[in-house]
Amino acid sequence: MRFRGRQNAYKEQGEELLDRIGQELEDFGKVEKNINKGKRLYLLEVTPEA
């Protein structure tokens, strides 16, 4: 998720959204890394189950 301009004021909502997405994707794969926070970019890494 990339934040630009005024969106930077709402990073907490973006983090909550990625948490929720990660929980929903646990049925399909493994969440390798929890939210990786950069200045403008938040990443959530999910790998498929074997």
- Domain ranges, ordered by start, for the chain: 5-48
Whether the per-residue pLDDT at 45 is higher than 80: the answer is: yes
Whether the per-residue pLDDT at 44 is higher than 80: the answer is: yes
CB–CB of 29/44 below 8 Å?
no
CB–CB of 43/32 below 8 Å?
no
Q: What is the tens place of the pLDDT at every residue in 1-43?
A: 888 888 888 888 888 888 898 899 888 888 887 777 778 888 8
Q: What's the pLDDT at 38?
A: 78
Q: What's the pLDDT at 43?
A: 85
Q: What's the pLDDT at 7?
A: 85
